[in-house]
Structure 1
């Protein structure tokens, strides 16, 4: 499985680099794997990704980006089912389209969550609205995600967020952010989780950068995000990325 994923990623990178103006590749190592408040692995994981954007689309028509992201379980501590560690537990494929709107940032997208170890893939549509708040580095966004297939079918996940970015030096950048997640899933409706994060990015040169981050995840309503799913409250990450 690991070899096939690597070969597929290399093939995607080779194909898109010819047609796209911007390609970014990155890999993060995280102390746990938490998705929308749910702890899927409270052990060490590796999370690589690849995104291509800047395709030959006239600027007046907006822009398109495609990407792939995966979670690789290095230590699968939470799973007591006997499943071997050292496998990709999830691989996402996504495409997004940024609309040519001047008043704010508007993007629509589609993402498919696949599970190489078994299970039906989940499919989701998303809409994100965002805007800078002045010129001081503050940015507000509002994301709407709607499941159109798999176990998340007809499920809404709504996430307003506020972030801040600043330059510490020519090469060092700091960021902070907060978000709240609201779930609508049949009879289960309410505030799910909240996050607060801090991050640092250091540019090694024009292409390569390293990063570190810390995220706190809060359980807002145990009737929505139950105690069995909420396990890890703090996740630390380190990563390296390349733009080419």
Structure 2
């Protein structure tokens, strides 16, 4: 809780100080499930608010998951089950975009928090096509890594309306796989997914969006199917649909 209060105070300082020339964006997502790196944390409806403040390449983000449904009696609805605080720095070398940072994972409803260091690379290829690679290493509870590669294609459909098509695949270390599922036996190719989204700019500051995501496992020994009744997390939900609203200020 102290970390979250500190993060909110820093965001307020960055967003309000004109000398920082900070930019801020508030987001609110409504999703039919909460799936993270192929793992289902809730197969029911969730609300996920976020606030992002950036200045001079430095950024801080606070994001939360609020469960509207419970998940087979493993969590209670109408509670925040997770709050993430991300500190980052991004810069560019010619066309290559580079980001590094720290993610603090907090679980207000119970469970040990943890933290990850990350590095990410992004490269526009041609037209609206871009590629990205992200690497995460848990330095607290898990002491292992997860990495993913992705492609995204953005196309303008009409004034203010864009469509984005994406694809990703993940790879995990053995200790990461074992930490997140009691049924995992090895590390290796983890999850893959596809997405299709629409985004409409109502004004320069206000955006509305809708998206659908498909996710599945690349190796059931690494990312097994979930058996929540027996306390085993893993792949349980393959399709996720959501709506989003964002406001920049």
1:180-220 deviation per Cα after TM superposition (whole angstroms, max 9, x unaligned): 01011247211111010000001111111110000000111
Q: For the aligned residues, what is the CA RMSD?
A: 2.0
1:96-146 deviation per Cα after TM superposition (whole angstroms, max 9, x unaligned): 111342241111111011000122211001111111102x11000111111
Contact 1:154/1:185 (8 A) holds in 2: no
> Which consecutive residues of structure 1, in runs of 5 or more, have no partner in the other structure?
58-62
Per the normalisation by structure 1, the TM-score is 0.88
Pick closer, same or farther for the CA change 1:9–1:48 going to 2, 3 Å: farther
Pick closer, same or farther for the CA change 1:218–1:120 going to 2, 3 Å: same
2:93 to 93, 101, 120: 101
Pick closer, same or farther for the CA change 1:10–1:92 going to 2, 3 Å: closer
Matches of residues 80-119 of structure 1 in structure 2 within 5 Å? 80-81=73-74, 83-119=75-111
Q: When the two structures are aligned, how many residues end up with a matched partner?
A: 228
Displacement of 1:79 in angstroms is 3.3
Asked if 1:226 corresponds to 2:220, the answer is no
Pick closer, same or farther for the CA change 1:149–1:10 going to 2, 3 Å: closer
Moved over 4 A (4+): 7-13
Per the normalisation by structure 2, the TM-score is 0.86
- The equivalent residue for 2:199 is 201
Contact 2:7/2:60 (8 A) holds in 1: no
1:152-193 deviation per Cα after TM superposition (whole angstroms, max 9, x unaligned): x22111101000111112211110100001011247211111
- The equivalent residue for 1:172 is 161
Distance 1:128 1:88 in 2: 28
1:240 to 242, 245, 248: 245
